[in-house]
Structure 1
């Protein structure tokens, strides 16, 4: 599916979402059922799980496994790429019949793929229109954070700061989204802190950025099943930041009481209570740089 076809389907969905709820025609209902039936069993299951808010981020098969088999090595991106036409048509059909939950769930599944295809802006316009007309429909944290990422990329740092700080300070709260475990909240906070670290990295605030990336690592390692994808991203960012530091900042970072570069986890007295009863990460792990929030 080429970029023009993707853009055309997204624009049709945006226009339908912007128009607001309308009485669906019989043709709309038939098209919705046809599009739903065209989805593979795996995609149908993922959409149902997205509607049920099973995860705050769409997971890869290998992301939380210690031992990865050949079956786990396929990225979700490949599945989405193969079935993108069906998904985007189902998005359009869901909007036409007023099923905002399925519409947002499709957005959730295709979000990461379309980000790499440089089509996130159009997708988020659809989310904005749906949220306006269906304010009670939960917006996934991944999609909320995507807005922050786009804001950073377009230089709208203040907007990104507002989104990220809200997620961090409110323990991941995103309106009507329901978290099933405290670890899901922790994951959202850790990713928000990670992106905020990237913001400070872009601004050349190496020490402050490194402290935030370290805090994200502590949160990601503290999950019941450590997030390999998130940990890999944070480690890569931290390495890039450390080689950019001057000697003074590097010394300050490596001698910070909350940071231990030798052991696998940060050695802090608060870690056990955090794992048992998670609270905002910035309060626990960043007493030395809480003023940056």
Structure 2
């Protein structure tokens, strides 16, 4: 199957830091081929990066059902014609309309720590995710580690999502519609699947979202001011300030949102030394940390801080390759 390509300067996109940095939990890395397979927009993607091009293949898509005149099936795989449907989706997902290099320059001039981090962690894109998947993935993220979060997200998809396609023995599923998660029986089912207390948060939040209008409700949050959207999100069961900020930042286009957890707090103490030694992050500290970085970095503060977050993660520590850092292989 041939590869499609999007012209994009090498330092404008770093797949490793972007796809393996804790934003999305549905990407896996094949180190042997230096390729990624992941799911978004009800589509299974294979990505790789060569020189100044982002290469992709579409391994299957449910979008074909409504766009048969725009795509054609060849050996159960999707070929993309000149309409650019999948190219447009990929550009939107990586926010390729943003000239990231110019922002890195501005942020580096404002902050020496960012300047150092940005040398290695260039091209960290803020993914434009779908709100439903983003919200429920981050409910799963509470008091959890990435491998277990990924496992929970896949359980949601395989049990409640629609099958997209099978590739090399692996079956891929779309993230479920919110209506599939709102039924009362979902809570007990998820508890049996190992979701613990998160099961209640998922089912009850889904029911609230459906009651409030589903997709239209999310659209209204995108049109609100950031702090108003955050307040509305926190009315959902199980959504606190940090998860609300993750959703604002990653899927509602409020790029000034800055999620603060204990890890981010440790980074913040480099800038706000008077906060050192605290046992927990209070509401007042949370607001102070967010406001500090918004003043330092501007309207895309959450994006800028994501670069620092990636640079500080243990799995991204320097391993002798100063051009980029390889993620660990995931166990199958």
TM range (shorter): under 0.3
Output the TM-score relative to the length of structure 2: 0.23
* Structure with higher helix content: 1
